[in-house]
Amino acid sequence: MLAGVSNTAEASSQFTDNTAESLLQLAAQQKRRKKWLLIQPKSQTSMMVDSGSVSMPLNLIMVATLAGTLFDVELVDERIGDKVPQDFSAYDVVAITSRTLNAHRAYGIGDRAKAQGRVVLLGGVHPTMLRDEATSHCTSVIYGEIESVWNDLASDLLRGTVKPFYKASELRAMSKMTKPDFSFALESHNAKRYSSRIPILATKGCPVGCNFCTTPTVYGKSFRYREMELVLDEMRSHQERLGKKLVRFSFMDDNISFRPQYFTDLLEGMSKLGVRWNANISMNFLHKPEVAEIAGRSGCDLMSIGFESLNPDVLKSVNKGSNRLQNYSTAVSNLHKHKIAIQGYFMFGFDDDNEKSFQATYDFIMQNRIEFPVFSLVTPFPGTPYFEEMKNRVRHLDWDKYDTYHYMFEPKKLSGEKLLENFIKLQREVYKGRAIMQRMQGKPLNWVWFVNFLMNRFTRKLTPEIYL
């Protein structure tokens, strides 16, 4: 078996090397080097999205790194104040990434660039989920990750034979993932608005299959990971670039802990680097004390956990099998023992929710002293099984409001009025000054305290109307 894997990898490597050489030769034959403009649109939602410091757009940085071998590339990020030009005549290709909540903005830019005769590429979650809708706003829709279709796409762009749709027949191994070149983002005059935490990727995909999640569609239900040494080497390169050992990283993985042995081996390697890090993590094995111990030892200062609900009927209805209520408090206690803060996600508005759901969530947060609770309303995202189930009940298809903060449909056991009333009350109670002190007393004075007091101000201004 191992020999077979090795031979396959060797053949794949040879194929990739030959293809890359062919693309370089094709690019050298061009009369001039074509120019790309990569665009990260700003979201149009009225809620606190894309405000303050934002993470560097790792997805676009990876695209820029790939494209930069063959084309001249410029990256514009509207979230940090970069301006999208009105005139696209300086560019041959305009490539735009889109989530559902900024789809209208992405489409508007795409329409303008297309009208000016540019090749327009639309990629990201929303165009992947709604290919037919996205097609009219671009030259080509990129389905899923661009790395897996890059060779075909780059060849067609160089030859002037671009197809309307690119979808990989198989996903590319992460061992072939090029180390991202962050200079594309850092060249912006507004780069200081980026978070100091450096985004990094070790794995892709999540086989769990929650019915409200877009990940299985974008990446399939496969789980891919980079060789551990490649991840550690990327961390070391950032330490060298910044000239310091204490560098803070944020893993962009959907479920970095799905393969426990890989995860713990990676953390053992990180424990020797002296970095700090945070990540999204599944509940599936956090109840084991050794996991929290190695996470703390390797520099973890915050874990983002999708608790989702304290209602067992809700967890069952959304296929959240990894979440076992009996393990919640144990997982939290294990992390707190090693001074790891928790960003806990809680969703409301499922059909099985009732008024008791809010009280149970409040009690859990306060008793377990969750440092940074995040609350959202259930949002059936287009393309997911949950959307297909709920599409006849959603109140509208205004993508600007598909931000997990707007009221999408009325649950069966709770009126819309009662849902919003309890949703606002819970946020205000959790972020009252007294409640903040109770949850945060004795914890390090850091950015988490600051966020709590920002949320105190924010929640006092909440009204039902802003969620409609």
Residues 165-183: tens digit of each pLDDT: 999 988 888 887 889 999 9
Nearest residue to 360 via CA among 328, 331, 337: 328
User: Mean pLDDT across the stretch 206-219?
Assistant: 78
Which tokens hold the place of 82? 């970069």
**pLDDT tens, position by position, 435-460:** 999 999 999 888 999 999 999 999 99
- Give me the pLDDT at residue 252, please: 94
Residue bearing tokens 């903040």: 436
Is this prediction's pTM over 0.85?
Answer: yes
- Quote the mean pLDDT of the chain: 90
- Band the pLDDT of 318: cuts 50, 70, 90: low
Which tokens hold the place of 453? 């007091």
Distance CA 256, CA 304 (A): 11
